[in-house]
Amino acid sequence: MTDTLTTTTPLADDVRAALQACGVDLSVVGGDAQVASPITGEPLIGARLDTVADIDAAVGRAAEAFPAWRDTPAPLRGQLVKRWGELLTEHKEHLATLVTAEVGKTPSEARGEVQEMIDIADLAVGQSRQLFGKTMPSERPGHRLQEVWHPLGVVGVISAFNFPVAVYAWNTALALVCGDTVVWKPADAARLSAIAVDALLAKAVSEAGAPKGIHQLLLTDADGSRKLVEDPRVALVSATGSVRMGREVAPAVAARFGRTLLELGGNNGAIVAPSADLDLALRGVVFAAAGTAGQRCTTLRRLFVHSSVADQLTKRVVAAYESLAVGDPREDGVLVGPLVNQRSYEAQQAALAAAREQGGTVLAGGDRELADAHPDAYYVRPAVVSMPDQTAIVHEETFAPILYVMTYDDLGEAIALHNAVPQGLSSAIFTTDQGEAERFLSSAGSDCGIANVNIGTSGAEIGGAFGGEKETGGGRESGSDAWKAYMRPSTQTVNYSGQLPLAQGVTFI
């Protein structure tokens, strides 16, 4: 994949240096598909988009490389991922620079995202020696019954802008140790990060002597994504994005009997009980709701506060929001960077207008800032909105920093309100009452894939499986037994008895 510098501003110079440090060749002129920085709105580097023929060829290369990679012993596959992790560590600052430039994360958050890549590589290396099956007792004498896991095939990864590189690594590190090959379609807003990450993986592949075709990068648009989704050679499509996107991907893959791993909408909620440590709750709420300018899938968007502490906590949240430093994420002390583009800003403004119409009161934030200094960038102060109840707009996930605050009197009521939305990714309760905590974590409590006590909704660790229920899609990535999504189980029976007894006592001859 080739690309070219189209502007010589300092930000673009940083991007050029980071790309070159990661081994990307910028000498060949690329195309007109611009990547602009949400920090200033300026174009960074133009990239050549793949054609339909390019996409077909990329999937073909991955499919052709699969048999050789499938037959490579899993611990050797793990050594490739180990080397990739070492290169990611070596180039952590370069990759963080690209993430900040492309999606507007603060350097601290950008480094944290790259660290997630390093962490999942570490986990996957260990997993390469632990692709465990099972041995079950057979009812027939002289028989062995077992379950073995085999590589699945080509894995297509479609990632979103808000975590432009970490989610790819979650999928790819595991898919590679499981013996699969990978085709990646990154977010349009984050093509440069993808190019750098792919270059580092290519270096690891070369050094490890692995088949060259095991990873493929596609720089394409929505039509190109559709080609990847519909290709019968792609055994699994792992897609991160909106519920709308998931509604298109899931039936298209199902129509050809492929598999999907979906990470879709969040609309996450948290409950603050009367026993909560309010200092702890305040920090957890503000970081989860305002961090990354509200553009995480695990961002806190709904807050249910017990009526006995609602006024006190709400006032403290509003004060904290008003003190947040909003601006260029590269500047010291800035905690909230820009929205990714104008559409996100417009979506936020539309949601705030709807909230007002539905009886809500905007207590803080919501206004655009720094427009004179950066007319092509969209900085907003995170908004706190007091809602009389959970109205229609609260049921929708707006991918921008809006925190809806509501009150409750009974924990059962709060859990019911929390679970009433169609999304089911992450959830939290702040309480020092063990009974309340256990009730929230029970099957009668949170209906989300992630449930936390005394921490916010964001900040998942690599060791646990990540994903959610309902309209979130049901997928699981990262730790625990998420690796099984990238493999196929084979139930096997070995008869060493010399006889041919049938199961269930059936007689035939």
Q: What residues form DSSP beta bridges with 477?
A: 466
Note whether residue 18 is domain-resident: yes
Note whether residue 349 is domain-resident: yes
SS3 472: coil
At 2 the pLDDT is 35
182 and 64 in a common domain: yes
Q: What is the pLDDT of residues 171-219, one digit of tens each?
A: 999 999 999 999 999 999 999 999 999 999 999 999 999 999 999 999 9
User: Domain span at residue 377?
Assistant: 268-462
Note whether residue 505 is domain-resident: no
DSSP state of 488: E
Amino acid at 384: V
Catalytic status, residue 448: no
**CATH for 103:** 3.40.605.10
Note whether residue 228 is domain-resident: yes
309 and 228 in a common domain: no
370 and 243 in a common domain: no
309 and 252 in a common domain: no
For residue 228, the surrounding DSSP H or E stretch is: helix 222-230
301 and 168 in a common domain: no
Note whether residue 497 is domain-resident: no
How far is it, in rounded angstroms, from Cα 509 to Cα 498? 15
Q: What is the pLDDT of residues 58-117, one digit of tens each?
A: 999 999 999 999 999 999 999 999 999 999 999 999 999 999 999 999 999 999 999 999
204 and 331 in a common domain: no
109 and 156 in a common domain: yes
**CATH for 446:** 3.40.309.10
Q: According to DSSP H, which parts of 256-309 are helical?
A: 278-290
368 and 451 in a common domain: yes
Note whether residue 434 is domain-resident: yes
275 and 256 in a common domain: no
Out of 109, 297, 448, 477, which one is annotated catalytic? 297
**How many CA atoms lie less than 13 Å away from 181 in the CB half-sphere?**
30
6: pLDDT strictly greater than 80: no
31 and 164 in a common domain: yes
Q: What are the C-alpha distances in Å from 308 to residues 140, 142, 176, 230, 326?
A: 64, 67, 52, 53, 32
281 and 185 in a common domain: no
At 431 the pLDDT is 98
Stretch 235-264: mean pLDDT: 97
Out of 102, 109, 263, 397, which one is annotated catalytic? 263
DSSP assignments along 136-151, one per residue? E--SSTTEEEEEEEEE
At 459 the pLDDT is 85
Q: Are strands 43-47 and 33-36 parallel, antiparallel or unpaired?
A: antiparallel
pLDDT, mean over the chain: 95
350 and 305 in a common domain: yes
At 104 the pLDDT is 97
Note whether residue 101 is domain-resident: yes
Q: What is the pLDDT of residues 344-374, one digit of tens each?
A: 999 999 999 999 999 999 999 999 999 999 9
At 7 the pLDDT is 43
Note whether residue 467 is domain-resident: no
164: pLDDT strictly greater than 90: yes
Catalytic status, residue 263: yes
**Residue 3 confidence class, pLDDT cut points 50, 70, 90:** very low
Q: What is the pLDDT of residues 113-147, one digit of tens each?
A: 999 999 999 999 999 999 999 999 999 999 999 99
**Farthest CA pair distance, the chain:** 88
Q: pTM to 2 decimals? A: 0.95
How far is it, in rounded angstroms, from Cα 182 to Cα 261? 14
Counted domains in the chain:
2
**How many CA atoms lie less than 13 Å away from 407 in the CB half-sphere?**
14
